Structure 1
Amino acid sequence: MVRRKTNRQTDPQTYGQGVCNKASTFRARKYVRTCNKVLKMNSIVKFNTIFVALLIIEISDGEKDCKIPCYCNPKQKMATCASRHLHYIPKLPSYVEQVEFVGNNFTHLSKSFFKNLTSFNKINLLNLTDNLVLNISLDAFADFQYLNTLDISREKKLPIFSLKKAFRSLNNSRINSLDFSGNGWEYLPPDMFKELKLSRIRSLSMTSNSLKELHGEIYSYLTELRILNLAYNDIRNVNLSGLTVLEELVLKDNNIHNIPTWCSSTGGSFVPQLKVLRLDSNSITEMNSSSFKCLQNLKQLRVDYNNFRFLENNTFSHLVKLDRLHLSHNTRLQVIQETAFNVSSLKSLYFQNNGFHFDKEKKFNANTIFSYCPNLMTLDMSSNFLPSLKKSQFLKLMFIPLIKLEKLTLPNTRIRALPFNLFPKMKFLTTLNLQGNSINGWKDGERIFGNKSSLKTLNLQANNIRLVNRTTFPPSILSSLESLDLSSNHFSCTCDQIWFREWIRKNFESKSKKNNLTLNGYPQKYVCMFPSNLRGVLLKNYNPTPETCKEKNYLTTIAVIITLVVVLSIVVPLLLYRCQTNIRNYIYAWRLYKKRKSGYVRLDSEDYDYHAFVVYCESDRKWVHNVLVKKLENEESMRICIHHRDFDIGAPVTGNIGKYMSKCRKIVVVMSNDFAESEWCQWEVDLVQERRRKQGRGVSLLIMLHTIDSNHMTDSLKTLLDSTPHLQYSNGVGEWLFWKALVEGLRKPFGHPPVAVL
């Protein structure tokens, strides 16, 4: 005590700093801020002020905060503890009601283990993630009287029966949400939730496990279950019996090939209360008019990322309350029948990134495609192929029934011209997105947009618009708009642009701005593209005036044009006649260059239906389907053949392999220890060798997904690996290099084509 007193007297500055450092171990940020301010004061005053300040803070806060490795958030009443060295439950501030233990070392959970938590806190949320748990005692949760949410995830060493028995210690009157994700479970005991039959659990999540089936009876003990999330499993078979009160079912990213059965044998519904259904990222190949019977209360449906090729008539007509439908990223879709969208209750349709050809009449009927869903308010058709300039009337026919539309999203759809008298009929349209198309502009804005006052957001970014003048947008549009985006267009900086520059100067460069319109991207993304001497100049820096834009002699211009036409009409035919041999040679060289550049060359007058055939074993199916195929098809626009999806049903396997391998330009072999053990895979390797003897080594690409050890290496695989370089897949650093090499290998030509092929 004497030494401390001496230090205060002789060196208040040093002592004050020491107090601040000590304070940082408690309520770190608040103490340090206070101390640092005080240290700027005079030495004697410093010490006294520090003492008083710390005392005030301590009294006001009432108790110390968390200690490392825990972090506390008083506002959210939450604590998080994370350290592999932590093997006990530390005491936490009494205000903590939600606690997360992530990445600790809790091997045995019991009632006494949680004593520091249950004695001083009213915990309503308990999260135990990746804590190396090996066992949970029967009474583990007995003292959690306020617990309503329990999350035990990524505990792959925890026996499922240990958890099941511990359910009896939960407070059934409080608990209402469970999450058991990433535990590696492949199946559930039939009485998994029997101890919870008196509970009021409304939400259950078991994502990222390895469950193979959904048996509704297992969940029937949870009599108030409303939400069931089983995404990212390996579910193939679905039986929904026993889920009569379920309102939301998430089966995203499983291995479902067929739409589940919703109707019971008596004609009723297994899930009469279901409102939200997610079947996206599965392998569904077919949907028809009976696929969604007995779902009379369904409001939202997602079937993105599947493999169906047809949308048949009345597919969704039984969903009388459906108001939101997601049908995106279905790149294999080929035909939409006339009444496929026969669902009058539909208000939102998301049909983006399908690459569907609305520019081909045989694939759909422009007159009827949306005529049976007149109440549509939101439509997103991004990244499809809408009718071109010559067929722009089909664009109008498609959308004319949608008079209640409020939001229309059409980016990257290759639109080149806007149809007349379409948007004026959409009286409620507030948002129109036409970004990333090839629109060149228009002359009569009144016929394009009409006198609309409802339109608030208009996006025309990244088109080919060169000129904006007083006829481009009607005055009513400019006065009602709140957001306008014309950035990244090909602006022509000529005297014809003088109106647009004056309008911008008046509304966005003047201090006396009179409206609330925002011109997105201005000025950085408004750049001159023409003429060449002004290319790259900001439109803001192009300032034409009436004096610099004097009227030109148009008669002289017309005379020059007529003269050039006459000269060219004489000279061009003469040159074509005299140089016909050279012209043929140039055409040949150009075609050869294009084919080599695209990486695709026909061989022996044959063409292919697929870019690649993938040879793989069942244990590697998940990586092939979810990573390889999605990457190549969705990002590289390739067509990949895999036997789970593309083989003919009922045909012999050997016949299917031979048939579809011959339809593929190249063959990708995905290798691992399980691949080496498979007799079918070894037989396919022999077929690959035969193909290589005919067409050369370039026909095959080898991927080493998991290194094959010496115990599994076969003679045929060793021969294949010795004669052909292979790619090694690694997740994370260097992964981009793997994909770059793979894509280039698939697109690489076999060799120079013979003249006859061209």
Structure 2
Amino acid sequence: MSETPGLKKEWVFGCIASEMGHQKSRLKHLIIFLLFTIDCFVVQGFTLRSCRISGNKAICSPSKKLKEVPTDIPPTVESIDLSNNKILKLQEGNFIDFPYLTNLDLKQNKITKIGKGTFSRLFSLKTLNLNNNTLENLDDGVFDGLSNLTELRISTNRIETVAPDAFRSLTNLEIFVFSFNQLRTSKQIGLIIKHMPHLTQLHLHHNHIQTFNSSDLTNKPTGITLLDISGNPIKLFQITTNVFPNLTNLNVGNPPMTVAMIWDVPDKAMLAKVDTLDVSRVTMGGSAKMWDLLSTFNTSLVTLTINSMHYNLRTLINKSCSIPTVSTLKLGQNNLFYISSSLFEICTNVTEIVLSKCGIKRIADESFRPVLRLRTLRLDRNKLQTVPSAISNLRSLNKLDLSNNSIESLGCNDFANLTLLQYLSLPWNKITTLSACVFQHLPKLRVLQLQGNSLSNISNAFTTHLPNLNLLRLNQNSLTTLENGTFRGLPSLQHLFLYQNRINNNIDRKIFQTFQDLVNLQNLTLANNHINYRRFTPMKHPPFMNLSKLNYLNLQSQHRRGKSKLPSNFLQGLTNLSTLILRNMQLTGIPEEFFIHMPNLDSLDLNSNDLMDISPNLFSPIPNITKLRISDINLRSLDFLTEANLTKLKFLQARKNAFPVISEEIIRSMPSLRYIDLEFSSFICDCDSADFIKWIKKSNQTQVFNAYNFKCYYPSNQKNKMLLDLNVQSCMIDIGFICFTFTTCVNLLFLVASLTYHFMRFQLAYAYYIFLAWLYDRKNKSSQAPSQYDAFVSYNVHDEAWVYRELVPRLEKQQGWKLCLHHRDFEPGRPIVDNITDAIYGSRKTLCVISRRYLQSEWCSREMQVASFRLFDESKDVLILVFLEDIPSCHLSPYYRMRRVLKRQTYLSWPGEGPEVHVFWEKLRQALTTKKCAAEERLLLTVTDEQ
């Protein structure tokens, strides 16, 4: 056989194999890439046993009444709120891994001891609150590690003793609140503040300090600007050293008992910067001594508080107002009852007067006339029944507070001359009606508070006169009717509160048209009224058509019997609305086009309605929503979320519903989710919940609130068991393990295939052709057709000369055998493999002319392989081997050795020149002769026998 076709064929096979190798390689990389990207879009979740995360703050719920610091708080939080629990002690290890923590709130616990090193790892902490605990002492180094702390609160404890170095690490503290404890001396205060060079505020009110002496504190000036030692039974207040050169706010008032205080400040310059002073309830053993106290601040005092005084109040007020710098006078809780015209006769420089809770019933008409510069007047929590006429004299008044009195009506001239008034507070009176003229003199008014009255009619009070009003509170009244044009005179109104009224008129026709003039309104609260619709039918005149700037609308809790609906165009015009609250409106459904007019909606509250099912199309117009509340609405499934396209949703509250399962598809539909509340839902505890349970336990993006308390409702044998205690390992399909196994198998298969091809490609080719020969034999065995040739000659192209010079003439011309030769007898156009197979099976024998070149030829080897298969299959010696060269056994291919091992057959060797040539041809003739049995076919030659 020619070598050239064999080489071409091998090259073709090699190219195909190479290309297949590249394709396999690309396929393997593609599979690996897909496996690694399986989790790219998974929403991950987590839950905490005792806390919830809001922003960067961990809030540890007081409902659980924790007795120790939780261990599962994420280390990345910046604030931790552990207040209102039952924590008994703090110890080292409670706060070891919070590198970003700046605020720690531990107030209202039962902490009795703080172990050394508790805060040693909180290097970033700025604020620490330990108020309302039961600490009795502070040991050395208890606050070690808090070198960056700027605010410390330890009020309302039982601290009596403080170790000298308890506060040694607080070198950057600025605010220290140590009120309601049991410090007794100013020396204890000195031991505390000596470690706080940057302290600016010192709060020590309501301890047991009886003597306050500056020489006990420190021997050098401090930066303290606020000193509060009120509520202490101080008998001696002595400043003899200049330790408070920057003090601006001093509070020594409200002692717990009537004790005459000695005021000893020989050098007034030491308190020269104090502008705010509180001496409420202080007694000095006489008015003269009180005057000595006030005269200390004769050049700096601006705000003076003298509540609940036991002196002649007229004299005290006169003394106070004689200080030229005083502008604010706070006189609360003094039993005045009646304010005479002379009470403030020398207070010409005062701009603010506070007369809260003084029992005032009457005020003389001229009582405020001397106070021409008064800008703020507080008369709240008194017993006034009408607006005092004296107020009309206050032309400079900017703020007036008349809340919590007994005023029943407002007259047209009650606020006459108050043209500069901007803030008017009238809540919690007994006002029943407003006339059209009541606010006519208040063109500058910006804030009007009328909540908590008995208003049932506001008539035309807001149709004119108030062009600058920004905020109006009419909540908690008895309003039932709002006529069209009610707020026509409020073009600047931005905040309107109408909740907790009885608004119940025919809203389909006229009530909400009253809002059409409020074109700048931003906040509207109509909660807790009696608003009710019966149809989804669109309204002819939608109520909010002109409110394009409204961004907050609250309609929750409408108290009407029966179920309610909302017209499909109810919210038309609210193009800028960002927050909508429809909680507890007894809604039975919402039209799909309901939100079509609110493209900027960010927060939606549908809690406590009777919706049961929600269409995913409902949310199509509001794809930017980030907060959704759908608790207690009888939802049977959250499947609508899979098609709602709420990809920006971050907060979902869906507690108290009837859906049993949260599927993986639902979780994946909210890729931006950060917080989900599903408390008190009817969970099913079986394999359907396996993905949800795994998501809660093992991921870390979305917080699942209080998941450790989720209870099973179905099936009955699992009821009231904890959902997260369910063993779902048998349900789990471990995607990670499957991916690992798959990729490992692919890699091993690729490796085995590569090694097999490299080391056994010839064996594989052999097996392939053996298989083809077997198929051919099975196909043609039954036909028993006579052989066309006596022998098929398999040879290499380099041995072709010997074949045609020696073999063919001897066998065909002299002995008469018919041979099949490649170039002469193969059918052109047929596949080479088919020609070889037909030639071997069409011949009685196959004669292989073996040389070194023959063994190196791929096609020659395949011819022998097919012939070998025929040898094995027919159990006849159809294979004749003729060796032209002496070839060592180690150079023979496995196929030759296999033939010799199985058959233990001798073979012919070409002797070359000499007398042995005749024997060679005779033995070859005998081999070509067909015998009756295999034993007779064995050749007993004298050539080399390979055992």
Same fold (TM over 0.5): yes
Local SS of the residue matching 1:401: coil
Which amino acid in 2 is paired with 1:380?
N
Which amino acid in 1 is paired with 2:527?
Q
For the pair 1:323 / 2:484, whether they are aligned, the reply is no
Which residue is 1:208 aligned to? 381
Taking structure 1 as reference, are residues 323 and 132 closer, same or farther at Cα in structure 2, changes over 3 Å only?
same
- Between the two structures, name the one with larger relative contact order (CA 8 Å, sep ≥ 6): 2
For the pair 1:375 / 2:553, whether they are aligned, the reply is no
Which amino acid in 2 is paired with 1:165?
S
Taking structure 1 as reference, are residues 340 and 17 closer, same or farther at Cα in structure 2, changes over 3 Å only?
closer
**Partners in 2 of 1:427 and 1:317 — Cα distance?**
35
**Partners in 1 of 2:663 and 2:604 — Cα distance?**
25
**Partners in 2 of 1:192 and 1:326 — Cα distance?**
35
**Post-superposition shift, 1:443?**
1.9
Which residue is 1:141 aligned to? 320
Which residue is 1:115 aligned to? 292
Which residue is 2:621 aligned to? 425
Which residue is 1:478 aligned to? 671
Taking structure 1 as reference, are residues 113 and 413 closer, same or farther at Cα in structure 2, changes over 3 Å only?
farther
**Post-superposition shift, 1:243?**
1.6
Q: Which of these two proteins has the greater Rg computed from alpha carbons? A: 2
**Partners in 1 of 2:435 and 2:289 — Cα distance?**
45
Q: Give a deviation string over 1:371-394, Cα, whole Å, max 9, x none.
A: 442332122333336747996555
**Partners in 2 of 1:370 and 1:231 — Cα distance?**
32
**Post-superposition shift, 1:150?**
1.7
**Partners in 1 of 2:261 and 2:163 — Cα distance?**
31
**Partners in 1 of 2:476 and 2:553 — Cα distance?**
18
Give ranges in structure 1 of 5+ residues lacking alignment: 1-15, 36-53, 508-512, 550-758
**Partners in 2 of 1:107 and 1:23 — Cα distance?**
26
Taking structure 1 as reference, are residues 62 and 374 closer, same or farther at Cα in structure 2, changes over 3 Å only?
closer
Q: 2:331 aligns with which of 152, 166, 170?
A: 152
**Post-superposition shift, 1:285?**
0.9
**Post-superposition shift, 1:27?**
4.3
Assess if the C-alpha contact under 8 Å between 1:277 and 1:302 holds in 2: yes
**Partners in 2 of 1:29 and 1:107 — Cα distance?**
27
Q: Give a deviation string over 1:552-588, Cα, whole Å, max 9, x none.
A: xxxxxxxxxxxxxxxxxxxxxxxxxxxxxxxxxxxxx
Which residue is 2:520 aligned to? 345
Q: 1:181 aligns with which of 324, 340, 356?
A: 356
TM-score by length of 1: 0.56
Which residue is 1:167 aligned to? 344
> RMSD value over aligned CA atoms?
4.3
TM-score by length of 2: 0.46
Q: Give a deviation string over 1:722-744, Cα, whole Å, max 9, x none.
A: xxxxxxxxxxxxxxxxxxxxxxx
Q: 1:467 aligns with which of 661, 668, 689?
A: 661
Which residue is 2:887 aligned to? none
Assess if the C-alpha contact under 8 Å between 2:654 and 2:678 holds in 1: yes
Local SS of the residue matching 2:671: helix
**Post-superposition shift, 1:312?**
3.3
Assess if the C-alpha contact under 8 Å between 2:659 and 2:683 holds in 1: yes
Which amino acid in 2 is paired with 1:541?
D
**Partners in 1 of 2:605 and 2:263 — Cα distance?**
53
Which runs of structure 2 are paired with 1:681-696 in the superposition (5 Å)? Answer: none
Q: 1:506 aligns with which of 698, 711, 715?
A: 698
Taking structure 1 as reference, are residues 99 and 379 closer, same or farther at Cα in structure 2, changes over 3 Å only?
same
Which residue is 1:77 aligned to? 249
Taking structure 1 as reference, are residues 130 and 496 closer, same or farther at Cα in structure 2, changes over 3 Å only?
same
Assess if the C-alpha contact under 8 Å between 1:434 and 1:461 holds in 2: yes
Taking structure 1 as reference, are residues 417 and 212 closer, same or farther at Cα in structure 2, changes over 3 Å only?
farther
Assess if the C-alpha contact under 8 Å between 1:309 and 1:332 holds in 2: yes
Which runs of structure 2 are paired with 1:577-616 in the superposition (5 Å)? Answer: none
Local SS of the residue matching 2:666: coil
Q: 1:520 aligns with which of 702, 705, 708?
A: 705
Q: Give a deviation string over 1:633-673, Cα, whole Å, max 9, x none.
A: xxxxxxxxxxxxxxxxxxxxxxxxxxxxxxxxxxxxxxxxx
* Bigger share in helix: 1
**Post-superposition shift, 1:125?**
2.3
Taking structure 1 as reference, are residues 55 and 218 closer, same or farther at Cα in structure 2, changes over 3 Å only?
closer
**Partners in 1 of 2:248 and 2:630 — Cα distance?**
42
**Partners in 2 of 1:113 and 1:229 — Cα distance?**
30
Assess if the C-alpha contact under 8 Å between 1:378 and 1:407 holds in 2: no
Which runs of structure 2 are paired with 1:646-661 in the superposition (5 Å)? Answer: none
**Partners in 2 of 1:18 and 1:432 — Cα distance?**
52
Assess if the C-alpha contact under 8 Å between 2:524 and 2:550 holds in 1: yes
**Post-superposition shift, 1:302?**
1.0
For the pair 1:443 / 2:639, whether they are aligned, the reply is yes
**Partners in 2 of 1:434 and 1:227 — Cα distance?**
42
Local SS of the residue matching 2:393: coil
For the pair 1:539 / 2:723, whether they are aligned, the reply is yes
Which residue is 2:430 aligned to? 255
Assess if the C-alpha contact under 8 Å between 1:335 and 1:364 holds in 2: no
Q: 1:401 aligns with which of 597, 605, 609?
A: 597
Q: Give a deviation string over 1:157-214, Cα, whole Å, max 9, x none.
A: 46411xx534243362xx43221111122232222211111x2x33221111111222
Which residue is 1:667 aligned to? none
**Post-superposition shift, 1:290?**
5.9
Which residue is 1:58 aligned to? 219
Local SS of the residue matching 2:362: coil
**Post-superposition shift, 1:471?**
4.1
Q: Give a deviation string over 1:223-274, Cα, whole Å, max 9, x none.
A: 332221111011122232212111111110111111243478xxxx421111
Assess if the C-alpha contact under 8 Å between 1:435 and 1:462 holds in 2: yes
Assess if the C-alpha contact under 8 Å between 1:287 and 1:312 holds in 2: no
Which residue is 1:283 aligned to? 454
Which runs of structure 2 are paired with 1:381-396 in the superposition (5 Å)? Answer: 381-384=555-558, 387=564, 392-394=588-590
For the pair 1:300 / 2:471, whether they are aligned, the reply is yes
Which residue is 1:235 aligned to? 407
Assess if the C-alpha contact under 8 Å between 2:527 and 2:555 holds in 1: yes
**Post-superposition shift, 1:283?**
0.7
**Partners in 2 of 1:420 and 1:211 — Cα distance?**
58
**Post-superposition shift, 1:17?**
12
Q: Give a deviation string over 1:132-174, Cα, whole Å, max 9, x none.
A: 454312632244343332211121246411xx534243362xx
Assess if the C-alpha contact under 8 Å between 1:366 and 1:398 holds in 2: no
Which runs of structure 2 are paired with 1:721-732 in the superposition (5 Å)? Answer: none
Q: Give a deviation string over 1:76-129, Cα, whole Å, max 9, x none.
A: 833142234145684588365433344556898x68633213314733322222
Local SS of the residue matching 2:717: helix
Aligned length: 491
Taking structure 1 as reference, are residues 124 and 370 closer, same or farther at Cα in structure 2, changes over 3 Å only?
same
For the pair 1:191 / 2:366, whether they are aligned, the reply is yes
Local SS of the residue matching 2:400: strand
Which residue is 1:224 aligned to? 396
Which amino acid in 2 is paired with 1:59?
K
**Post-superposition shift, 1:284?**
0.8
Percent identity between the two aligned chains: 21
Assess if the C-alpha contact under 8 Å between 1:309 and 1:333 holds in 2: yes
